[in-house]
Structure 1
Amino acid sequence: MNYKETSQYLKVIADSNRLEILDLLSCGEQCACDLLEYFSFSQPTLSHHMKVLKDNNLVTYRKEGNKNLYKLNHDVLADITKRLTLLNTNNMPCICDVITKGECN
């Protein structure tokens, strides 16, 4: 995952409603109708948020009858977490060394 991809994911989850949706889905697969009960916005607004999350592979979904069931894409979230964890560690080689062949300041 590169910086541009990481940045795109952070933009998507920077929306507090989408972040809350991800948190709700951490409990397991849920139907859109169940998710909607937690929010004061309309079904079309939920659909918009779910589309953004799906388009960015943060959630997966399946249809069961007339229900849309959503769940977290744990692989993508693990990649994001790994990338952010690397930013918060003294990793070798340092990005400064790679870019400038010099010393980090």
Structure 2
Amino acid sequence: MSNLELPILEPDAAPCCPPITSAELSVEDSVRMAAMFKALADPVRLRLFSKIASHPGGEACVCDIQDVGVSQPTVSHHLRKLREAGLLTSERRGTWVYYRVAPSAVAGMAALLDLTR
């Protein structure tokens, strides 16, 4: 995945907020979007998010993405923060947890920053 490509969004992925140039953000929208950007502001979280987004099939087992230079408990902590911010969804399958990028979150972030609208 290049720096300019976003993951393919599911058809029902809808942005939460209008583009930043079209209207002032509501308090609720600004709190929600700030939490997403804050979660991605950490280099380890950004790497984990990128690994999941670029993984074949659009989902990744924690066993496939944990090699980011920190311990396994720290990886779990960062993945939890990304989930809490609404950026990832997860599903337990046996002993492993599989993660996906939440399409509506990415659509919302992209729409918010779309200066062409």
The TM-score bracket by the shorter chain reads: 0.7 to 0.9
Counterparts of 2:65 and 2:52 in 1: how far apart (Å)? Answer: 9
Matched, 1:26 2:53: yes
In the alignment, is the contact (CA less than 8 A) between 2:87 and 2:106 conserved in 1?
yes
Q: Match of 1:46?
A: 75
What is the root-mean-square deviation of aligned Cα atoms in Å? 1.3
Percentage identity across paired residues of the two chains: 29
Q: By percentage of residues, which structure has more helix?
A: 1
**Structure 1 unaligned runs (5+)?**
92-105
Deviations 1:64-87 (A, max 9, x none): 1101111111111111110111xx
Which residue identity does 2:70 align to in structure 1?
Answer: F
Aligned mate of 1:17, from 14, 39, 44: 44
The list of structure 1 runs, each at least 4 consecutive aligned residues, that deviate by more than 6 angstroms after superposition, is none
**d(CA) in 2 for partners of 1:4 and 1:21?**
23
TM-score (norm 1): 0.76
What are the residue-to-residue correspondences of 1:23-102 with 2, within 5 Å? 23-27=50-54, 28-37=58-67, 39-85=68-114, 88-89=115-116
Q: TM-score, normalised by structure 2?
A: 0.68
